[in-house]
Structure 1
Amino acid sequence: MAKSGLGSDPESCAAVTVLSRAVKLDEEARYQPALVCYQEGIDLLLQVLRGTKDPAKRSNLRKKISSYMDRAENIKKYLDQVKEDGKYHKQIKIEEDATGFSYETLFQEYLNETVTEVWIEDPYIRQTHQLYNFLRFCEMLIKKPCKVKTIHLLTSLDKQGFGNVQQSSGLNEIKESLRTHGVLLQVEYSSSVHDREIRFNNGWVIKIGRGLDYFKRPQGQFSLGYCDFDLRPCHETTVDIFHTKHTKQI
C-alpha cells in the first residue's frame, strides 16, 4: 500500500484494489470492464479525498483522480467509436441461479426512441411459460422511449394437438393486444429454425444461448420473482451483444 501513496484505511485499500484491476484489464485490452473499474475506483478516490485534510496528500489525490479520469474518458470515446463503426461486442455470462437479469436489465440500454422495428428468432415460443416470456418482452418494447410499430417473430410450430392450439391461440391473443397499442405482430413458423437472436432496427443484435427462456420456474405463485423477473433465478447461459450499421431482416 505504501507505493500507492493512498494510505492503509479501508477506503484507500478498496480504491487501490479496484484501480489495480482496472489497469490490468486495460493492459489486456478488455476495455468495457476496465472502464467500469476505473469509474468505480475514481468514485472511491473521491471519497478518500473528501476525508483527507493534509494539503500535500489532497494535491496528490487530485492528480491521481485527474489521470484516471482522463484514461476513463479516452476509453469511453474509443468504445463509442467502436460502436459507431459497428465493431462493438459485449458478452454477459449469466451464472446458474443468478438474479438481476430481467429483460429490462438486459435490453434497456439498447432501446431508445429510434427503435421502431424488432426481429425475434426463437424456436421455443410454444409452452405457456414461453408465451408469457414473449408477452413480457413485448410489454417492454411498447414502453417509452421505444416507438415500436412492428415486431417480427420467427419460431417453430408445436405439432402436438393441444400444444398447437395453445401456441396459436396465445400468439393470436398477444397479436390482438399489441394491435390495440398500434403495434403489428408478424409471426412466421419454420421447422429448421434453431438460432436464438433478437435484432433492433437501430443496429443492436442480442444473442442469448437459451433465447427468451432463461428463467427458472418460480418456487410458487406467491414467491418473490414470480412477477419481478429481476428476482427470478436464471439458468446458466451466455448473452452476446453486437452492433452493426446494417441489420438485415430475418
Structure 2
Amino acid sequence: MAAAGPKLDPECAAAIAVLKRAVELDSEFRYQQALVCYQEGIDMLLQVLKGTKDDKKKCNLRKKITDYMDRAENIKQYLDQEKEDGKYHKQIKIEENATGFSYESLFQEYLNETITEVWVEDPYIRNTQQLYNFLRFCEMLIKSPCKVKTIHLLTSLDQDNGRTEQVSALNEIKGSLRNHGVSLQLDYSSSIHDREIRFNNGWIIKIGRGLDYFKRPKGSFSLGYFDYDLRPCRETTVDIFHNKHTKKI
C-alpha cells in the first residue's frame, strides 16, 4: 500500500477547498461568484501563512497567494469594465430560510453619493408587513451615503378592507421623509406586475418577490424582528444590472 501524503492542517485544507471552488466557478465563467471565493480563500491562506514557521512552506504559500491574487485582480478589472460598459449582470439566488440578506446587505454595494432619485415598482406594498418593508427600505436610503431627494413608488391599491390603512401608512411615510428633505411621489396602478428598483446612478435591481422576500417574524421578541439580516427569507432570485442609458419614468 502506498504511503499517505502529509496531512494538511484544517485551516489550510479549508482554504484549498474554497480556492478549488473558485477555480471551478472561474472555469464556468461565473466570475462574480469566483471572485468572492478567491478573496475568501486568499484571506484564509494569509492566516495560514501567519502561523507557518517553516521557510519552505512559507515560500510555497506566498507563491500560491500571489498567483491567486493576480487572477482575482484580473477578474475584478474585467467586472469593473463590464460595469463601465453597462454590460454588468449579477444574479443572487436567495434560498428558503436563508439569512443575511437585509436591504443594507443586498443594496450597499450599489449605493453612493451620486444617487439623488430612486424608483420602486412593486405591486405589493399593501399589508402591514409590506408597508414596514418599504419603510425599512426608505430608512436604509436615508442612512446610506446617498443624497436622495426623491423616491418614486408605483404600487397597486389594496382593494380589500386594508385600503385605508395602506393609504394612511404611505402618507405617513411621505410626511416622515419630508422631514428628512426627501419627497415621496406616490402613484397607483391596477395593472402593475413587474418588480423593479432603479437608482439614477444606473443600477437596476429586479427581485422576484419585490421587497417582500422576508418571512414574518415568529413573534415580537424573536431575533430578526428588527434586524433583517437575522430574519429568514423566502426563496427568490435577485438580478442586478447596470445601464447608463436607463430612462426615467
Q: Do the two structures share a fold, i.e. TM-score over 0.5?
A: yes
Cα distance in 2 for residues equivalent to 1:244 and 1:7: 50
| Match of residue 15 from structure 2 | 15
Q: Secondary structure at the match of 1:14?
A: helix
Q: Secondary structure at the match of 2:162?
A: helix
Q: Secondary structure at the match of 1:142?
A: helix
| Match of residue 36 from structure 1 | 36
How many angstroms does 1:145 deviate by? 0.8
| Match of residue 94 from structure 1 | 94
Cα distance in 2 for residues equivalent to 1:85 and 1:182: 33
Residues 18-97 of structure 1 mapped to structure 2, 5 A cutoff: 18-97=18-97
Do the aligned partners of 2:125 and 2:156 also contact (CA within 8 Å) in 1? yes
Do the aligned partners of 1:7 and 1:13 also contact (CA within 8 Å) in 2? no
| Match of residue 164 from structure 1 | 163
How many angstroms does 1:49 deviate by? 2.1
Aligned length: 245
Which runs of 5 or more structure 2 residues have no equivalent in the other structure? Answer: none
How many angstroms does 1:51 deviate by? 2.7
TM-score, structure 1 normalization: 0.93
Do the aligned partners of 1:6 and 1:12 also contact (CA within 8 Å) in 2? no
Cα distance in 2 for residues equivalent to 1:106 and 1:245: 21
| Match of residue 183 from structure 1 | 182
Regions of 4+ moved over 3 Å: none
Amino acid at match of 2:205: I
**What CA deviation, in whole Å up to 9, does each residue of 1:72-111 have, x standing for no partner?**
1111111111111111111111111111111111111111
| Match of residue 125 from structure 1 | 125
Relative to structure 1, is the Cα distance of residues 31 and 6 closer, same or farther in structure 2, using a 3 angstrom cutoff?
Answer: farther
Q: Secondary structure at the match of 1:145?
A: coil
Do the aligned partners of 1:46 and 1:65 also contact (CA within 8 Å) in 2? yes
Do the aligned partners of 2:111 and 2:144 also contact (CA within 8 Å) in 1? no
Do the aligned partners of 2:103 and 2:137 also contact (CA within 8 Å) in 1? yes
Amino acid at match of 2:215: K
Pairwise CA RMSD: 1.5
How many angstroms does 1:157 deviate by? 1.4
Cα distance in 2 for residues equivalent to 1:17 and 1:164: 53
| Match of residue 226 from structure 2 | 227
Q: Secondary structure at the match of 2:21?
A: helix
Cα distance in 1 for residues equivalent to 2:97 and 2:211: 16
Q: Secondary structure at the match of 2:143?
A: coil
Which runs of 5 or more structure 1 residues have no equivalent in the other structure? Answer: none
Do the aligned partners of 1:196 and 1:211 also contact (CA within 8 Å) in 2? yes
Sequence identity (%): 79
Do the aligned partners of 1:218 and 1:226 also contact (CA within 8 Å) in 2? yes
Cα distance in 2 for residues equivalent to 1:112 and 1:104: 13
Do the aligned partners of 1:19 and 1:37 also contact (CA within 8 Å) in 2? yes
